């Protein structure tokens, strides 16, 4: 399967149809540029090599406002926390190879209480220690768990991208591996800020929707990033190429199927969310 076989014209038509199927529209409000400074300030003072600090600050400038637009209902301090978390994820994904063996020993050092071998990873651990300041206990635990999975997923991508021949029929692998690399679960919990929906009152209401939202976040990202990652870029161990290989499909047909699956998930989730909203109002 050659990723280059997906023509730009076909890709444009498929993506346009996908955006229509999920009723996409631009948010009717402006970016909050005041979120930039506090998120950038967090990374400007980290004791890292200069190149990492500059990269993180550059990411923080646009990530902070984007996250604010994704979660406009969260209070300002929570939006800042979401932005900082997001930059850590993006930065670590970007510099996985440079972090080397410190990535491999992250989980063991975390469990043993040992200092991390990279100042970037140590700053992440220190930041995670304050998760309860903006998340409930379940969401905070899932954020920590997800970081462990995400870092190990980055390692697998680092070591095996282009070196795994996925057998046709291993149809559960794409979803399994995506759950390790996607880190969608924390961003799903971000939809329910503790200040607005305290877990003690609302966790039982939105818990049934969490997996659907995770899948929606992961696969919408897969669809929209395919061109950058696997057509222009050289990444092959990503969800849609994996889906194509394990299902015996062309990349074009795999993309169409994933778009259809996400569109159906969006329809079912919307109906489910309406029911959840009614339950929340009753609470």
Would you say residue 149 lies in a domain? no
CA 128 to chain centre: 16
Of 22-31, 108-117, 119-128, 133-142, which gets the smallest average pLDDT?
Answer: 22-31
Cα separation, 27 vs 17, in Å, equals 19
Lowest mean pLDDT among 69-78, 182-191, 223-232, 261-270: 261-270
17 within domain boundaries? yes
The answer to which of 1-15, 24-38, 106-120 has the lowest mean pLDDT is: 1-15
Distance CA 63, CA 146 (A): 20
pLDDT of 45 strictly over 60: yes
CA separation for the pair 251, 242 (Å, rounded): 9
**pLDDT value of position 256:** 95
pLDDT at 193: 96
pLDDT single digits (tens) 197-234: 999 999 999 999 899 999 999 999 999 999 988 888 88
Average pLDDT over residues 148-168: 94
Q: Which domain holds residue 237?
A: 1-25+168-283
Distance, CA of 22 to CA of 263 (rounded, Å): 6
Q: 41: Cβ–Cβ under 8 A, 6 or more apart, which residues?
A: none
The enclosing domain of 1 has a CATH number of 1.10.600.10
Has residue 99 got a pLDDT over 80?
yes
In whole angstroms, what is the distance from residue 88 CA to residue 43 CA? 9
Give the span between the Cα atoms of 270 and 15, in whole angstroms.
20
Q: How many CB atoms lie within 10 A of CB 123?
A: 21
How many other C-beta atoms are found inside a 10 Å radius of the C-beta of residue 181? Answer: 20
| Position 278 confidence tier, pLDDT thresholds 50, 70, 90 | low
Q: Which of 77-81, 269-273, 274-278 has the highest mean pLDDT?
A: 77-81
Q: Determine how many CB atoms are found less than 10 A away from the CB of residue 200.
A: 10
Task: Assess if residue 14 is contained within a domain.
Answer: yes
Instruction: For helices 251-282 and 239-247, give the axis angle rounded to 10 degrees.
Output: 120
Confidence (pLDDT) at 3: 53
pLDDT on residue 269 = 60
- Other CB atoms closer than 10 Å to residue 281's CB: what's the count? 8
Residue 220 lies in a domain: yes
Residue 281 lies in a domain: yes
Number of separate domains in the chain: 1
Q: Which of 52-66, 194-208, 226-240, 244-258 has the lowest mean pLDDT?
A: 226-240
In-domain check, residue 207: yes
- Establish if 176 belongs to a structural domain: yes
**Mean pLDDT, range 108-129, rounded to an integer:** 97
Contact 138, 214 (CB under 8 A): no
Q: Percentage of the chain with pLDDT > 70?
A: 92
Instruction: Judge whether 63 lies within some domain.
Output: no
For 236, half-sphere exposure in the C-beta direction (CA atoms, 13 angstrom radius) is: 15
């Amino acid at each position: 399967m050659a990723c280059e076989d997906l023509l730009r014209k076909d890709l444009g038509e498929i993506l346009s149809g996908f955006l229509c199927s999920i009723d996409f529209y631009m948010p009717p409000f402006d970016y909050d540029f005041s979120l930039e400074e506090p998120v950038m300030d967090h990374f400007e003072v980290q004791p890292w090599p200069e190149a990492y600090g500059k990269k993180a600050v550059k990411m923080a400038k646009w990530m902070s406002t984007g996250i604010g637009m994704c979660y406009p209902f969260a209070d300002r301090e929570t939006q800042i926390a979401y932005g900082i978390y997001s930059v850590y994820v993006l930065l670590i994904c970007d510099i996985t190879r440079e972090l080397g063996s410190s990535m491999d020993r992250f989980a063991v050092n975390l469990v043993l209480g040992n200092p991390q071998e990279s100042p970037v990873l140590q700053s992440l651990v220190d930041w995670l220690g304050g998760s309860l300041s903006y998340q409930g206990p379940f969401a905070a635990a899932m954020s920590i768990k997800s970081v462990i999975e995400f870092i190990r997923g980055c390692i697998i991508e680092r070591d095996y991208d282009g070196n795994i021949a996925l057998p046709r029929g291993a149809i559960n692998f794409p979803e399994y591996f995506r759950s390790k690399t996607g880190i969608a679960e924390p961003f799903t919990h971000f939809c329910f800020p503790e200040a607005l929906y305290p877990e003690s009152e609302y966790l039982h209401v939105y818990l049934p929707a969490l997996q659907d939202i995770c899948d929606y976040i992961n696969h919408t990202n897969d669809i929209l990033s395919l061109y950058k990652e696997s057509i222009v870029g050289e990444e092959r161990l990503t969800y849609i190429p994996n889906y194509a290989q394990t299902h015996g499909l062309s990349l074009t047909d795999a993309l169409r199927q994933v778009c259809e699956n996400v569109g159906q998930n969006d329809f079912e989730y919307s109906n489910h969310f309406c029911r959840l909203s009614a339950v929340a109002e009753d609470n």
